[in-house]
Amino acid sequence: MIKNWQNRFSENIKDYEGYPIGKTLKYLADPEIISLAGGLPSPKVFQKSEMRIISERILNIDIDKIMQYSAIPGEQSLVDAIIGFLKRDDINVEKKNILITTSGQHGLDLVGRLFLNPGDRIIIDRPTFAGALVAFEMERPEFIGVDIENDGSNVQVFEQKLEEMNKQNKLPKFIYVVPDFQNPTGITMSFEKRKELLDLSYKYNVPIIEDSPYRDLRYYGDPIPSIYSLDQKHNNGGGNVIGLYTFSKIFCPGLRVGFNIGPPEVIEKMTNIKEGNILNTPKYNQDLCMAFLTEMDLDSHFKKCKKYYREKLQVFLKTMEKYFPKETGVTWTTSEGGLFLWVSVPEHIDTNELFFEAIKYKVAFVPGEQFYGENPAKNHMRINFSYASKEQLAEAIKRLANCIKPLL
Ligand SMILES: Cc1ncc(COP(=O)(O)O)c(C=O)c1O
């Protein structure tokens, strides 16, 4: 009988602890807790009747294929629908540029496996998406984090870091950013910064990973071109950006379908990795995503989502102003879209401890520490405003205020 399994775990995995947010969620079983923790889209905007009708139809016409293995790069019909979907956003890709993934998290895993050796560097924002950190951590990279600004990544400091690393002959393998309504802060990168970031990518020959789950969930202002599209239009011919997309937030997370786009060499190699980890993404799920893009009236769905989430965002911001006047020292980001905001409390409060106190007040958030690749700040929290009802949101903030005020 094997006594010590720990000794047999691989170097990459033996100290790996997985997704910290998952561990947080286990404290939320009490139904009285209002959770602003998970990154859940609201079932109120799910297209449930369309799903039922289309599910029945595709099961009737295609059940043999649905129950069978299917193509690893993805269903041709979905790939074609994605080509059309991206054209709306001024991105022109062909089949060779697309790999269907089993959600955004899988897309991130493919990036990590493809590029990283232990000790390789990655430039990231501080804070950044915790799921990207856990995906990349499996390869034990070194995270080089730079504090994010209100208009996105601090590109100036990125440049200083790249210059230093270049001198050491140890440039990062890639720069990872979520330019639209970033998870966890809700911050959007300005047009100027997108161009500057791309210039850095060309100057230092470092690829950009652009993670875009929230791009279509814009509630205010005009869309800013994606870094992928700016790269495509550049007179050097582009090819420096890999785009990660998922149906999770715009359609539903339960189907676990997404896609990566990029240069054919990258997509081909990612496909090889997919052959070795999950093989195909379920055809049934892909067919439903195809129907989402081509049959379910995308424009009116996005209009509905935007109206619904915009109202919640307004409730959140209004209630925060009411319960956290300036003198409390509590601040928060605002956002033009997405699902999250970032709340900062005075530095003497550690939000890991505050989390357990907040549970007593029947309200939950994600402690900010989980969103740092290195040297975490302790006085922030991520708030999700898409899932709880408007009434719950207002009540949750009131509870949070009751919990925080005695500590100020
Ligand atoms: C920035 C970002 N990338 C990727 C994902 C992963 O999404 P999925 O649910 O499709 O795995 C998320 C989910 O929260 C996200 O916020």
pLDDT tens string 70-93: 999 999 999 999 999 999 999 999
Q: Given this model, what pLDDT does residue 29 score?
A: 87
Q: Given this model, what pLDDT does residue 22 score?
A: 76
Closest CA to 313 of 188, 231, 218, 178: 218
Ligand 1 and 258: CB distance under 6 A: yes
As a whole number, the mean pLDDT across the chain is 96
Q: Which of 21, 148, 178, 211 to mutate to test the pocket of ligand 1 (most atoms within 8 A of CB)?
A: 211
Predicted confidence band at 232 (pLDDT cuts at 50, 70, 90)?
very high
Give the H/E segment covering residue 129.
none
Domain ranges within the chain, ordered by starting residue: 6-46+299-407, 62-294
Radius of gyration of the chain (CA): 21
Ligand 1 and 248: CB distance under 6 A: yes
Mean pLDDT, residues 384-407 taken together: 96
Angstrom distance (rounded) from CA 269 to CA 267: 5
What number of CA atoms fall less than 13 Å from residue 3's CA on the CB side? 0
For residue 357, what are the contacts with CB-CB under 8 A and spacing of at least 6? 403, 407
Structure token digits, residue 111: 């990036």
DSSP letter for each residue of 75-112: -HHHHHHHHHHHHTTT----GGGEEEESSHHHHHHHHH
Angstrom distance (rounded) from CA 312 to CA 389: 8
Ligand 1 and 105: CB distance under 6 A: yes
Ligand 1 and 186: CB distance under 6 A: no
In terms of pLDDT, which residue wins out, 236 or 95? 95
Determine which residue's CA is closest to atom 16 belonging to ligand 1.
Answer: 183
Strand ordering across the sheet containing 174-177? 98-101, 258-261, 241-246, 208-211, 174-177, 121-126, 142-147
Count CB atoms within 10 A of the CB of residue 168: 8
Ligand 1 and 184: CB distance under 6 A: no
Ligand 1 and 129: CB distance under 6 A: yes
62-294 topology per CATH: Aspartate Aminotransferase; domain 2 (3.40.640)
Q: Given this model, what pLDDT does residue 20 score?
A: 79
3-state secondary structure of 334: coil
Ligand 1 and 183: CB distance under 6 A: yes
Ligand 1 and 386: CB distance under 6 A: no
pLDDT tens string 17-51: 888 777 777 788 899 999 999 899 999 999 999 99
User: Ligand 1 centroid to 131 CA: how many Å?
Assistant: 7
Residue 303 DSSP symbol: H
Angstrom distance (rounded) from CA 65 to CA 42: 31
The phi, psi pair for 204, rounded to 5°, reads -100, 0
- The rounded percent of the chain whose pLDDT value lies above 90 is 95
pLDDT tens string 194-226: 999 999 999 999 999 999 999 999 999 999 999
Closest CA to 214 of 18, 385, 92: 385
Q: Given this model, what pLDDT does residue 109 score?
A: 98
Determine which residue's CA is closest to atom 7 belonging to ligand 1.
Answer: 104
β-bridge partners, 65? none
Ligand 1 and 39: CB distance under 6 A: yes
Q: Nearest 5 degrees, angle CA 86-CA 108-CA 250?
A: 45
User: Ligand 1 centroid to 132 CA: how many Å?
Assistant: 8
What number of CA atoms fall less than 13 Å from residue 369's CA on the CB side? 14
pLDDT tens string 106-160: 999 999 999 999 999 999 999 999 999 999 999 999 999 999 999 999 999 999 9
Q: Which of 40, 100, 129, 210 to mutate to test the pocket of ligand 1 (most atoms within 8 A of CB)?
A: 129
Q: Given this model, what pLDDT does residue 199 score?
A: 98
Do the domains at 6-46+299-407 and 62-294 have one common CATH topology? no
pLDDT tens string 251-300: 999 999 999 999 999 999 999 999 999 999 999 999 999 999 999 999 99
User: Ligand 1 centroid to 406 CA: how many Å?
Assistant: 35
User: Ligand 1 centroid to 104 CA: how many Å?
Assistant: 5
Which CATH number is 6-46+299-407 given?
Answer: 3.90.1150.10
